[in-house]
A and B are shown apart, each in its own frame.
Chain A
Amino acid sequence: MMTPLLRLLSVRIFVLALLPSLSWGVVEGHKYPFDNERDIARFQTLAEELRCPKCQNQNLADSNAPVASDMRDKVYELMQDGKSDQEVVDYMVARYGDFVRYRPPVRTSTFLLWFGPLIILIIGALVLVAIRRSSSSRTLDPLSTEEQERLKALRNESSEGNKS
């Protein structure tokens, strides 16, 4: 007599247990259950900003490499432990180095990486300004009386030549 009731109850409990895990973070076909949208977005961002050390032109979200999958699992695990984004990134950097970050920190060793393009742009702009300045600053000496006479003569000659 109790059995149908119990069954109904257990079904309800089962459905209730599913509810919090209705949202999934899906990365490269792998599902990671989260209970809120904010964490899904965080997970997505972290997986995109961390780089797979095995296949260096791919992030954790794109890579199929076993190590990338282990690292994704670890990111998920750390997030479930309540770690902040910075703590997750620091955890990976402590093991794999700055290389795992697509945005490396500004340091003396990464100075050129960050500011090299800007420096080249500035040099280019300076060169451009120098060229413009040197070509516009050229002033012509006025013609001497002799030269003016000659110019006049040449002009007359050519206009006569055209007529004939």
Chain B
Amino acid sequence: MKRVFLFIPLVAFAVLGLLFFLTIDRENKDVLPSPLVGQPFPPFEMSKLLTEEAVSTSALQGKPLLVNVWATWCPTCKAEHAFLNMLAEDGIRIVGINYKDERDKAHQWLTAYGNPYEFNVFDPEGKLGLDLGVYGAPETFLVDSSGVIRAKHVGDLNAAVWQKLEATYQGMK
């Protein structure tokens, strides 16, 4: 009987080892769940990047869209830009938030790499970014026609990511 107890540490070790092994890659710790999913898009009063005219939350409403947070200092944003261009060509509505950036640089970027955005909200101090819980560009939000955030993706958009998000996007129509 007593010998059975001797195996407890071994069994415990094996169980923990298996548990850790199975869960080791399950969670991407760089991606935090956003409390904003299911919440209305935070209200803002800012200016557009190119035309410098005033823009507010109401400009987002009407048609479901992708809100893409980007900056010229962000290498991953460059990596995803071609894919955004492709989505825009497919008729998907994309609004950009130019996050902690400079107008001139952003302008040059859009001229050089193409402009997939219906318009860009210029957020040089990251105020809107803070309200959106942005902690690293690029981040992309799916916003439905009534202005409610339905999903969030941190990191670059690509075909694999879009495959997962597309169902949510189609569901918003």
Q: Is B20 an interface residue (CB 8 A)?
A: no
Q: A65-117: which residues lie under 8 A (CB-CB) from chain B?
A: 65-67, 70-71, 74, 93-99
Chief secondary structure at chain A's binding surface: helix
Verify B8–A67 contact, CB threshold 8 A. Answer: no
Q: Which chain A positions have C-beta within 8 A of B1?
A: 134
B29 near A56 with CB under 8 A, answer yes
B2 touches A135 (CB 8 A): yes
Given A67-B134, A71-B130, answer yes or no on A97-B2 (Cβ-Cβ < 8 Å): no
Interface size class of chain A, counting residues whose CB lies under 8 Å from the partner chain = 20 to 34
- Tell me if B's interface is mostly helix, strand, loop or mixed: loop
Q: How distant is A153 from chain B, measured CB to nearest CB, in Å? A: 32
A54 located at the interface, meaning its Cβ lies under 8 Å from any Cβ of chain B in the complex: yes
Across-interface contacts of B132 in A (CB, < 8 A): 95
Q: Which residues of A contact B33 (CB under 8 A)?
A: 97, 99
Closest beta carbon of chain B to A56's beta carbon, Å: 7
| B58 cross-chain contacts in A, Cβ below 8 A | none
- Give the B interface residue count (CB, 8 A): 21
Using an 8 Å CB-CB cutoff, how does the interface string of B1-17 with A read, 1 for contact, 0 for none? Answer: 11001001000000000
B94 to chain A, nearest CB (A): 23
Report which residue of A52, A54, A93, A95 has the largest number of chain B beta carbons within 10 angstroms of its beta carbon.
A95
Subset of 21 A-B contacts with CB under 8 Å: A53-B133, A66-B100, A66-B126, A67-B134, A71-B130, A95-B35, A95-B36, A95-B130, A95-B131, A95-B133, A96-B133, A96-B135, A97-B33, A97-B34, A97-B133, A99-B33, A127-B5, A127-B8, A131-B5, A134-B1, A134-B2
The residues of A with any CB-CB pair to B shorter than 8 Å are 52-54, 56, 65-67, 70-71, 74, 93-99, 127, 130-131, 134-135
The chain B residues found within 8 Å of chain A, CB to CB, are 1-2, 5, 8, 29, 32-36, 100, 125-126, 129-136
